[in-house]
Structure 1
């Protein structure tokens, strides 16, 4: 008896045969050369890329809708941006406190994500130098 699976998200845009082909395409691309891929594999890969890109654009637009509503509300109420300074500062300060309370591992992971390895190394050196004075 064959199991029935409900596909969701990007996978719902493809048939079972196409999904199998995409999996094989990924394996072929990882282990071989792009020139070894068939025209069907290339077409499916391009279609998948297009679908994923459009889904990301829709997600970005969906995220911007609440922001636009809140800006409209603030403008309707004639809100002064300085009125939110304390809220933003408190939230950012709480995040910084959590990172700092996590010790060197958390601090360095955060710095690497934000500024990269070279600037993190410089920040470490500056921190050590300023602590030795």
Structure 2
């Protein structure tokens, strides 16, 4: 299943941004869970989904698959974009700009990986 590109820096850059994004999301979910406790089902749901995304990132690290990285990175881009919408909705500039920056950065580093998969498929 290892289909990592020969130009490993592209893969590792996309992986690093995706992993950092997932870990930061998990950190915020854990913080909410600690602050709000297990009586808050939203915090528990956020934490469970964040753990699942970190596990998915870990699986990508093991299999080193470009296709798997693309799927998980796209999931994190959607998560961060939606987090930015939440930030705008609650009027918090930091919670708007941070996730927007992360989503855009993740997209920028993912595009070369997607292009390499497409180029290989058409060859």
TM-score, normalization by structure 2: 0.31
Q: Quick check: which has more Rg, 1 or 2?
A: 1
TM-score, normalization by structure 1: 0.29
Which structure ranks higher in relative contact order (CA pairs < 8 Å, sequence separation ≥ 6)?
2
